[in-house]
Amino acid sequence: MTFHETLLQILNRFSETNPIFLWLFFAFSNFAENVFPPWPGDTVTAFGGFLVARNLPAFGWIELITSTLIGNLFGAWVMYRFGRIFLDWAKKKEFPFKDSIYDEQSIEKTLAWFRKNSILVVLFSRFSAGIRFFVSIVAGMVKMNPILFLDVLASR
């Protein structure tokens, strides 16, 4: 079987899948990309575009966009919440090599810069998977307004 035939077989298999499972699959893929940056969420979303181009009656652009948007928002929210608790945990917890990796002055300097530029940083970070992972955590660390955070995410 050639590569082309294999791809067509995969597309046909996905075309026959229940639209609810497709929606959940694309939502989970975008969620996973936010909490585990090596996950190829954008590639999976591009695959979703191929499915939509096949004009499936129950899975179109609206379903693909809503599933990826909700998956992205939920994944970013989880990392934002993680950031809100992580810094407090790191300050209180004693662990090996803490002095070499945790410098209060440097962290405060970084967080002050982020507070000043938070909207632009969050907006532009949405276009890079590796960066968006860290920006959501830092947004939580600086306790960025959660409604503003989600609004900036949804506006991309």
| pLDDT tens track for 92-147 | 888 787 777 777 888 899 899 999 999 999 988 888 877 888 899 999 999 999 99
Total domains in the fold of the chain: 1
Tokens of 2: 């050639």
User: What whole-number distance in Å separates Cα of residue 113 and Cα of residue 50?
Assistant: 41
User: Residue 21: which of 36, 61, 29 has the closest Cα?
Assistant: 29
List for the chain the helix, strand, coil content (%; round to 5): 80, 0, 20
pLDDT the model gives residue 109: 93
Domain that holds residue 87: 3-154
Instruction: Look at residue 97 and give its three-state secondary structure.
Output: coil
